[in-house]
Structure 1
Amino acid sequence: MKRRDFLRAGSLAAGSLGLAGCSRTPPPGLPPGQLLGPSQALGHRLRDGTGFPAASETRKVEALIIGGGMAGLSCGWWLKRQGHASFAVLELENEAGGNARSGSNPISAYPWGAHYLPLPGPEAPELRLMLAEFGALKGDPHALRPEYEERYLCFAPQERLHIHGAWQEGLLPQFGIAQAERHQQQRFVEQIASMKATLDGRGRPAFATPSARGGSPTAALAGISMADWLQQQGYDAPSLHWWVNYGCRDDYGTDYRQTSAWAGLHYHAGRHGQASNADSDDVLTWPEGNSWLTRRMAQGLGDALQPNAMAWQIEQTAQGCSVLVYLAQENRSVRYLADKLVWAAPAGFLAHVMPSLPPPWQTAMAQLSYAPWLVANLSLRAPPAERGQQPLCWDNVLYGAAGLGYVVANHQSLQLHDQGCVLSYYRPLTEATPAAGRKLLQTAPHAYWARSILAELGRVHPDLPGLTEQLDVWRWGHAMLRPTPSLFSSDALPRLRQPQGRIMLAHSDLSGFSLAEEAHYWGVRAARWLLDHKDEFA
């Protein structure tokens, strides 16, 4: 969700292996489509302790990185640019990218997960360096207000909200909102602006992205929910509560009643990016979403990246790390021997492959829980008809809906209105417990999701069912870590950030929430550890 609503309100005051599922004749009235997602078969085989073949080969590397999402790829990217060659990155799926995977069809590329990147601030110099290497940032990446490639800055119109039967510009509710609620919105905006400008005792922003380069969570905010914090501050406006909850569901996949207030406030106050040719709340986006970034990192790694490779046993000794890896396409196992190891997959999964998990990590991992998500891509032969004054935008949200709305994947195309379009629909399953949400994802058929999605979006686009030629669904059972009050009030995250012997974790999990900037930071930090640049951990 974009954050320009703050500026507008402020001015009034003074944002794999596919699962089994193939195209078949759909039920009457529904478009064809597939159920897709990360490999459940391999993941459940690992969870259930099903046997794997003995190793038939031994491979030696100085550094082994397990996990090819944003963090693992960032780790490999930094090693490569530092001239380090003796490393390997193992990825379970047939393509790297983690929750920044994407797909494509004759209409457009489209995201299966993360779909934009806010302008990185000065606290993320490594990310700016990468954007410069890839041509998304022009000139000096260390400038306070660098220039970004216009093609990758989100085109206007950028976002709208459907509320009380009409579309409004921006996502902060305005239509049909009483003046008393508007006053609360204004006060919230002013309070967030104050938090955003606050510095900690070391002169750093109290809220920064990546969060490790800002202030630490305070006890007063870490252990209560974002919903409770709003009530404590005297905010009871339904429109403000909806908007804040939308932000928590959007970035964290977690209802604001289960989101730590520190994480909820970080969403609004934690970014400080500026640009010479864009507003501070603009974002970088591509038809394929953040896969535009992960694929470029993956291409740069060459043979160092090994897809279809699942680590199923890790042992740490005084001499190094021994890792048994199943190569799915070859139906055999190999043994990797490495001096150091970086676990760049979700932290909560490490216990399944490392029987002798270090005790500090054992207790910390008990605090981790993951949010289930659903992403669907609807391929339309033409854009839906528009009624009213607000045209089809990049981000389109329905007030009070179960989902988060949809992004137009080919919004950046200048030929959008001359061809079909792809709508990328997002829905965190926050109405259920994570376990119940995962069970629903596992058992509900394609028709269940297709009917639900078309009914929800059909409220504002009656012609949508007739325009939709394909509706594919991607199921994320463990999409992202949930930033709960119990997590942030414990010592779990500090424990997980510390290396244990020859092993270090590198994942956005270490921040407590899943953001591309956070994953990139932890990946680069791990690369510096591998290179023994301990003085660069800041």
Structure 2
Amino acid sequence: MSGVSRRQFLLGSAALGLAGCSRLGWGEVTPVVNTPGMSMGHALRDHRNLPAPSASYKTGTVILGSGVAGLAAGWRLARGGYKDFMLLAGPEHYGNAAGGAFGALQYPKGAHYLPLPSMESRHVRDMLFDAGVIEADPYALKPRFDERVLVHAPDERVFVNGRWEDGLLPLQGQPASEREQQARFFRYTDQLKQATGADGKRVFCIPVELSSADPHWLALDQQTFAHWLDQSGYTAPGLRTYLDYCCRDDFGAVASQISAWAGLHYFAARAGQAANASEGAVLTWPGGLNPLARHLAQSSRAQWREGMAVRVDETRSGVQVLCAEQTAQGWRTFTIEADRAICAMPLHVAKYVVPQINSYGFDAASHMPPHAAWVISSFLLDGFPAEEPGAALAWDNVIHGGRGLGYVVSTHQDITWAPPPQTVFTAYQVYSDRTPQQARQWLEHATPAELYEEAACDLRVVYGRRLRQCAIGLDITVRGHAMASPAPGFMHNAGLKALRGHDGKILFAHSDLSGFSVFEEASWWGVRAAEKILG
């Protein structure tokens, strides 16, 4: 794919002590490391000199970016009967909803699940009904979902003290004080799911724009989640380790780095239910959210064009977009003239692409949310490594207090009598122990050995040498600006508020507008931008 920088390196048994051992015998594992958007993004940042445009195109609306926000915008335009639009793919098709495959085995290269949509997430229900994932009653309290997409049991387990336990909170051998705090915390967050502010709105909603604006509740945004937990008496070590894991998983930062409002929102806003699944169930595919992203792309029937936006300017009649594509022969540029543009790109890119963004009320120096780095590593396994005692292999497998975020199993949703001969374990890693800038610098210069150590950190805790006896392939995706982190004050960010409300020739659509990165938020802003086009 154009715009994707690929580095291939060899991890042999002599260099790193890792050798693939399949039923065919000993061999070498040759991982591929993907750094989507890095080369094009750095060229944009460094103001690389580009050749003069070699072509020009015209359209009614141009969507800049093919991540979830851009795809949702195209899907909504098509549903509204609007056909005169073009989608500029950007550096990576599908963005954080990208997927990969080892032969027939699919795996995620980004987000890997979607919570059941709440009543407020009508736009997500529309998408899921359109895709056939919701089979009946899409707007009822409890729609009926396709059983193949509802996560199968066992759905999650945690590794603690050398054995596996069901769920993600360790319970065995925990003191009474630990269990009491866990129960009290979840009683409180369950109550918050129904809490309303003085304006009559639910306090915590997805999409976040529909949440209550009651100042009493928004005051939570002025302190860290860790501070709120301390003040509320939630100090039990097991609970705090779990809550740090949740914050790292969704926000790329620990509880001491994120807003208390965001920390409680994580638990209280997810109120979706299903007629044929238990509370807390999620939707998942072997390829993560990629099948859903592909459905949005196909439904929009948009004209796709390769390349990324370099500059967007308003003109008397509309907008002009200077675009660049990195080809085997070098850089190529072209222009797109349109009536309006939807900038469905992260704000750390938009600040370079939209030179007049300050005039819309967004000052990058003071309004830019921090962006955490994310590494997704998929191991192709020839067979399954022997398990430690306790709960059986689940869809989501987490090491309590581990360096990483655990791993998901791509073949978990398969309905077969016997385990498949091969599978893919996809491990996730964030870097909350350092600043986002430090994490990006480290990832940019990391050696092959260091990248592998990060990829395998959780799997080695559980499997040790058993991992090397099964691993025959490894695909690593490095996302330097994977997700916005909702630091204290994000709900009061005047720049984000200005871009959310902006309605002009240039519109903005990205999960960054919400301050954190989830499918529901990204798709919401894509739909909202499209509805402004539709009038």
Q: Mark yes or no: TM-score above 0.5.
A: yes
Q: Deviations over 1:163-186 (max 9, x none)?
A: 122111000221232111111111
C-alpha separation in 2, matches of 1:407 and 1:426: 9
C-alpha separation in 2, matches of 1:353 and 1:230: 40
2:198 aligned with 1:201: yes
C-alpha separation in 2, matches of 1:64 and 1:418: 44
C-alpha separation in 1, matches of 2:76 and 2:440: 35
Q: State the match for 2:121 in structure 1.
A: 124
Q: State the match for 1:56 in structure 2.
A: 54
Local SS of the residue matching 1:358: helix
Contact 2:11 2:31 in 1 (8 A): no
2:495 aligned with 1:492: yes
In structure 2, the CA distance between the partners of 1:245 and 1:25, relative to structure 1 (3 Å rule), is closer
* Structure 2 residue identity aligned to 1:178: P
Query: CA shift at 1:356, angstroms?
Result: 2.5
For 1:224-303, list aligned pairs within 5 A: 224-303=223-302
Contact 1:119 1:273 in 2 (8 A): yes
For 1:503-514, list aligned pairs within 5 A: 503-514=506-517
Local SS of the residue matching 2:7: coil
Q: Deviations over 1:432-466 (max 9, x none)?
A: 11011001111112221223443532222131122
Q: State the match for 1:3 in structure 2.
A: none
Q: State the match for 1:464 in structure 2.
A: 467
2:172 aligned with 1:175: yes
Which moves more between the two structures, 329-338 or 167-176?
A: 329-338
Query: CA shift at 1:328, angstroms?
Result: 3.0
In structure 2, the CA distance between the partners of 1:442 and 1:62, relative to structure 1 (3 Å rule), is same
Q: Deviations over 1:187-222 (max 9, x none)?
A: 111111121110123432111111112223744211
* Structure 2 residue identity aligned to 1:48: D
Query: CA shift at 1:90, angstroms?
Result: 0.9
Q: State the match for 1:5 in structure 2.
A: none
Local SS of the residue matching 1:315: strand
Which moves more between the two structures, 331-340 or 39-48?
A: 331-340
Q: State the match for 1:378 in structure 2.
A: 379
For 1:66-145, list aligned pairs within 5 A: 66-93=64-91, 95-106=92-103, 108-145=105-142
Q: Deviations over 1:282-304 (max 9, x none)?
A: 01100000001111112233452
Q: State the match for 1:19 in structure 2.
A: 5
In structure 2, the CA distance between the partners of 1:188 and 1:154, relative to structure 1 (3 Å rule), is same
In structure 2, the CA distance between the partners of 1:441 and 1:113, relative to structure 1 (3 Å rule), is same
For 1:344-383, list aligned pairs within 5 A: 344-363=344-363, 366-367=366-367, 368-383=369-384
Q: Deviations over 1:323-350 (max 9, x none)?
A: 1111334843222111111111012221
Local SS of the residue matching 1:127: helix
Contact 2:156 2:395 in 1 (8 A): yes
C-alpha separation in 1, matches of 2:530 and 2:150: 29
Local SS of the residue matching 1:197: coil
Gaps of 5+ in 1: 1-15, 533-538
Q: State the match for 1:13 in structure 2.
A: none
Local SS of the residue matching 1:244: helix
Q: State the match for 2:394 in structure 1.
A: 393
For 1:425-464, list aligned pairs within 5 A: 425-462=427-464, 463-464=466-467
Q: State the match for 2:25 in structure 1.
A: none
C-alpha separation in 2, matches of 1:186 and 1:127: 31
C-alpha separation in 1, matches of 2:32 and 2:93: 21
Contact 2:362 2:498 in 1 (8 A): no
C-alpha separation in 1, matches of 2:339 and 2:435: 40
Query: CA shift at 1:280, angstroms?
Result: 2.4
C-alpha separation in 2, matches of 1:418 and 1:490: 49
Local SS of the residue matching 2:496: helix
Local SS of the residue matching 2:4: coil
Which moves more between the two structures, 360-369 or 426-435?
A: 360-369
Local SS of the residue matching 2:148: helix
Q: State the match for 1:536 in structure 2.
A: none
Q: State the match for 1:187 in structure 2.
A: 184
Q: Deviations over 1:448-490 (max 9, x none)?
A: 1223443532222131122111122110000011110143343
Q: State the match for 2:486 in structure 1.
A: 483
Q: State the match for 2:529 in structure 1.
A: 526
C-alpha separation in 1, matches of 2:233 and 2:356: 48
Local SS of the residue matching 1:526: helix
For 1:11-50, list aligned pairs within 5 A: 17-24=3-10, 26=12, 27-30=15-18, 31-50=29-48
C-alpha separation in 2, matches of 1:63 and 1:29: 53
C-alpha separation in 2, matches of 1:485 and 1:418: 46
C-alpha separation in 2, matches of 1:312 and 1:425: 33
Q: Deviations over 1:207-255 (max 9, x none)?
A: 1111112223744211111111101111111111111111110011112
Contact 2:262 2:486 in 1 (8 A): yes
2:296 aligned with 1:317: no
Which moves more between the two structures, 137-146 or 350-359?
A: 350-359
Q: State the match for 2:520 in structure 1.
A: 517
Query: CA shift at 1:498, angstroms?
Result: 1.8
Q: State the match for 2:343 in structure 1.
A: 343
* Structure 1 residue identity aligned to 2:84: S
In structure 2, the CA distance between the partners of 1:115 and 1:365, relative to structure 1 (3 Å rule), is farther
C-alpha separation in 1, matches of 2:274 and 2:378: 31
In structure 2, the CA distance between the partners of 1:320 and 1:165, relative to structure 1 (3 Å rule), is same
C-alpha separation in 2, matches of 1:421 and 1:366: 45
Contact 2:115 2:283 in 1 (8 A): yes
In structure 2, the CA distance between the partners of 1:120 and 1:456, relative to structure 1 (3 Å rule), is closer
C-alpha separation in 1, matches of 2:370 and 2:438: 13
Q: State the match for 1:414 in structure 2.
A: 415
Which moves more between the two structures, 384-393 or 247-256?
A: 384-393
In structure 2, the CA distance between the partners of 1:193 and 1:470, relative to structure 1 (3 Å rule), is same
Contact 1:36 1:474 in 2 (8 A): yes
* Structure 2 residue identity aligned to 1:397: V
Give the number of equivalent residue pairs.
515
* Structure 2 residue identity aligned to 1:21: R
Share of identical aligned residues, percent? 38
C-alpha separation in 1, matches of 2:104 and 2:301: 29
Which moves more between the two structures, 136-145 or 475-484?
A: 136-145
